[in-house]
Chain A
Amino acid sequence: MAAYLIRRLIQSALILLGVSFITFFLLFVLPADPVRQIAGRSATAETVENIRQQLGLDKPFIVQYGRYLGALLQGDMGRSYLQKTEVADLILSRLPATLLLMLGAIACELVLGLTMGIIAALWRGRALDQTLMVTSFVTVSAPQFVVSLLLLYVFAVKLGWFPIGGYGTFAHLVLPAVTLGILGSGWYSRMMRSSMIDVLRADYIRTARAKGLTRARIVLRHALPNAILPVIAMIGIDIGIFMGGIVVVESVFGWPGIGQLAWQAIQRVDIPIIMGVTLVSAFAIVLGNLLADLIAPLIDPRIRLR
Chain B
Amino acid sequence: MTLAEALPASGAAPAPETVLRVEGLCVSARTEQGLKPLVQDLSFDLRKGETLAIAGESGSGKSITSLAIMGLLPQPAVRVTGGSIRFGQQDLTALSESALRQVRGDRIAMIFQEPMTSLNPVMTVGAQLSEAIRAHAPVGRTEARRRAIEALRAVRLSEPERRMGQYPHELSGGMRQRVMIAMALALRPEVLIADEPTTALDVTVQREVLDLLRDLQARLGTAIILITHDMGVVAEMANRVIVMQQGRQVETASTEDIFGRPQAAYTQALLAAVPRLGQGSARAPVTGEPIARLSDVVVRYPLRGGLLGRITHNVHAVDHVSFDIRKGETFALVGESGCGKSTIAKALVGLAPHQGRIEIGGQAMQGLDPAGMKAMRRRVQMVFQDPMAALNPRMKVGELIAEPLVIHDIGDAASQRARAADLMARVGLEASHLDRYPHEFSGGQRQRICIARALALQPDLIIADESVSALDVSVQARVLDLLRALQSEFGMSYLFISHDMAVVDNISDRVAVMFLGQIVEMGTRAQIFGNPQHPYTRRLIEAVPIPDPRLKRLSRPRDASEVPSPVHRPGHEPARVILRDIGDGHLVGTSVG
Contact = CB atoms under 8 A, between A and B. Distances in A.
Interface stretch (B107-115, B139-147, B151-159, B414-422): B107-115
A226 B119 contact: no
Interface stretch (B97-105, B496-504, B526-534): B97-105
B131 A211 contact: yes
Given A226-B122, A302-B121, A211 B307 contact: no
A207 B119 contact: yes
A210 B306 CA distance: 43
Given A211-B132, A211-B183, A212-B102, A7 B169 contact: no
Interface stretch (A62-70, A116-124, A198-206, A243-251): A198-206
How many chain B residues sit at the interface, stated as a range, is 20 to 34
Contact of A212 (B105, B167, B180): B105
Contacts of A207: 112, 118-120, 180, 183
A212 to B, nearest CB: 4
B101 A203 contact: no
A301 B119 contact: no
B120 A206 contact: no
A206 B112 contact: yes
A212 B114 contact: no
Contacts of A300: 121-122
A303 to B, nearest CB: 10
B580 interface: no
Nearest to B115: A203
Given A212-B103, A222-B123, A302-B167, A203 B117 contact: yes
Contacts of A299: 122
A225 interface: yes
B307 A7 contact: yes
A3 B112 contact: no
Contacts of B167: 301-302
A230 to B, nearest CB: 13
B305 interface: yes
Given A203-B114, A203-B117, A213-B135, A306 B305 contact: yes
A210 B135 CA distance: 11
A209 B110 CA distance: 10
Given A203-B118, A204-B121, A299-B122, A210 B105 contact: yes
Contacts of A221: 123, 131
A3 B307 contact: yes
Contact of B122 (A208, A211, A301): A301
Contacts of A212: 101-106, 135-136
Contact of A211 (B105, B117, B123): B105
Contacts of A26: none
A301 B169 contact: yes
B304 interface: yes
B72 interface: yes
B334 interface: no
B495 to A, nearest CB: 33
A212 B110 CA distance: 11
Given A204-B118, A222-B123, A214 B101 contact: yes
Nearest to B305: A306
A6 interface: yes
Contacts of B183: 207, 211
Contacts of A6: 307
A80 to B, nearest CB: 39
Interface in A170-229: 202-204, 206-214, 217, 221-222, 225-226
Contacts of A222: 120, 123
B516 interface: no
B120 A208 contact: yes
B423 interface: no
A208 B123 CA distance: 12
B133 to A, nearest CB: 9
B70 interface: yes
A206 B105 contact: no
Contacts of A217: 131
Contacts of A210: 70, 72, 104-105, 109-110, 112
A7 B106 CA distance: 50
A25 to B, nearest CB: 31
Interface string B303-332: 011110100000000000000000000000
Interface in A240-280: none
A203 B112 contact: yes
Nearest to B180: A207
CB-CB nearest 4 A-B residue pairs = A212-B105, A212-B104, A211-B105, A203-B117
Given A211-B132, A212-B104, A212-B136, 10 more contacts: A203-B117, A204-B121, A206-B118, A207-B120, A207-B183, A210-B105, A211-B135, A221-B123, A226-B122, A301-B167
Interface of A: 3, 6-7, 202-204, 206-214, 217, 221-222, 225-226, 299-302, 306
29 contacts: A3-B307, A203-B112, A203-B114, A204-B117, A204-B121, A206-B118, A207-B112, A207-B118, A207-B180, A208-B120, A210-B105, A210-B109, A211-B131, A211-B183, A212-B104, A212-B135, A213-B105, A213-B131, A214-B101, A217-B131, A221-B131, A225-B122, A225-B123, A226-B120, A301-B169, A302-B121, A302-B167, A306-B304, A306-B305
